[in-house]
Structure 1
Amino acid sequence: MREDDPLTALRNVSRTIHEQVDQAYSGFTLSDATSYGAFLQAHGRVLPQVERWLKGAPDLPHWQERTVYLQRDLTELGHALPEQLDWQPPSGAGATLGALYVLEGSRLGGKMLSAQVGEGLPRTYLSAGHEKGGWPAFLQILRDRLGNADRIYRQSVMDGVSSTFDLFRRAAVRG
């Protein structure tokens, strides 16, 4: 990947907030039913509202919602979807694409985390990976759009990334 690749630039700029999110979620033990339930509830404070926002967005690449899977796993653990955190989505033209980047990356990470889920615990949400070739295809669309965009659009994508990562971080620390 070239240094001037816009996707590399996006990853570099978002690295700190991404690391903060990873740190916030590192305290959950997915093999323990109580901790895993808290992990899913943290996601439940974020995912439904971000997905609702994305449903109304024009011109997004194909994606599949996961709220129903999250709700199913929470129900199986005896929990309802928790109250959503207060959040004001960014308004720029590329903000939804940035938020989708975070959700699709979460989907990829969830697939890897599903192996840590304790025996007998539901893992439908974390196991809901991409269709074959879905992640590279999404990244190519993102790279193309960023590469053909002006500075204002690129910043709005970054605003969507930062805002969504921060929402996930706040949900984890609220625990």
Structure 2
Amino acid sequence: MPADAALAPVPLARALREATAQAHAAVEALPHMHALAHGALPCDQYVRVLQQHLALVEPWERTHAAWLQTLAAQGWHYRARGPALRADLATLGVTAPAAAPLTEAEPAAAAWGQLYVIEGSLLGGRLIARAFRAAQPALSAALAYFDLGSEAPGAWRQFQACLEAALPSVAQRQAAIGGAQSMFARFHQQLAAGVAA
């Protein structure tokens, strides 16, 4: 192997995956996640999961809206989750609360790390949507959010390429790792509240 190849940094997506492995596992280990993944979560608890995702994702989207709009020039088109979550809740007869106030946006590199977590969740979301259609067909009309990952199966690979190109420096990569870790912590805190096993 050439010396320069041996010294080359690992792909950023791999570095993020390795740095957040424990945090990701902690989210997956939450009591209700097994039932969610298998489409077995009762409707009232499914509503609660949607509410929790809305409470986490929509404020982040609103806070980072200006930055998210710039990503198209870098090859990535972000699909907003808030409208899909609100549509699912409305389908289930639940009125979503008003949008949360804006907070301070993260620097771009950290925001990329947070976006890595949000985009990565679509991979699992696609499986969740499939499981609910099989196990609880009555909820099929309320899967717009989890179905977002089914719209572009090759999007994850494209996102990883954009991520790599956007953050070439060591400092940027470290900031992205910190952003991803903080987002997993937010997911864990939010999803751990109020959903029974």
TM-score band by shorter chain is 0.7 to 0.9
Q: What is residue 152 of structure 2 aligned with on the other side?
A: 131
Tell me the C-alpha RMSD between the 2 structures: 2.6
Q: Which sits farther off after the overlay, 63-72 or 128-137?
A: 128-137
1:26 and 2:33 matched = yes
Distance 1:22 1:133 in 2: 23
Q: Tell me: CA distance 1:77–1:159, structure 2 relative to 1, closer, same or farther (3 Å).
A: same
Structure 2 residue identity aligned to 1:125 = Y
Q: What is residue 3 of structure 2 aligned with on the other side?
A: none
- TM-score, normalising length: structure 2: 0.75
Equivalent residues of 1:42, 1:171 under 8 A apart: yes
Shift in Å, 1:91? 3.3
Task: List runs of 5+ in structure 1 lacking aligned partners.
Answer: none
Shift in Å, 1:90? 6.9
Distance 2:104 2:21 in 1: 20
1:102 and 2:117 matched = yes
Task: List runs of 5+ in structure 2 lacking aligned partners.
Answer: 1-7
Shift in Å, 1:6? 2.8
Is the radius of gyration larger for structure 1 or structure 2? 2
Q: What is residue 157 of structure 1 aligned with on the other side?
A: 176
Q: Tell me: CA distance 1:155–1:81, structure 2 relative to 1, closer, same or farther (3 Å).
A: farther
Runs of 4+ more than 6 Å apart = 83-90
Q: What is residue 185 of structure 2 aligned with on the other side?
A: 166
Q: What is residue 90 of structure 2 aligned with on the other side?
A: 75
- TM-score, normalising length: structure 1: 0.84
Residues 89-111 of structure 1 deviation map (CA, whole Å, 9 limit, x = unaligned): 67333011111111111122111
Q: Tell me: CA distance 1:48–1:8, structure 2 relative to 1, closer, same or farther (3 Å).
A: same
Equivalent residues of 1:39, 1:172 under 8 A apart: yes
Distance 2:60 2:44 in 1: 25
Residues 1-56 of structure 1 deviation map (CA, whole Å, 9 limit, x = unaligned): x9833321211001111111112252654432112112112212111011112312
Where is the helix percentage greater, Structure 1 or Structure 2?
2
Distance 1:84 1:18 in 2: 27
Equivalent residues of 1:41, 1:81 under 8 A apart: yes
Percent identical among aligned pairs is 27
**Corresponding residue pairs, total:** 172
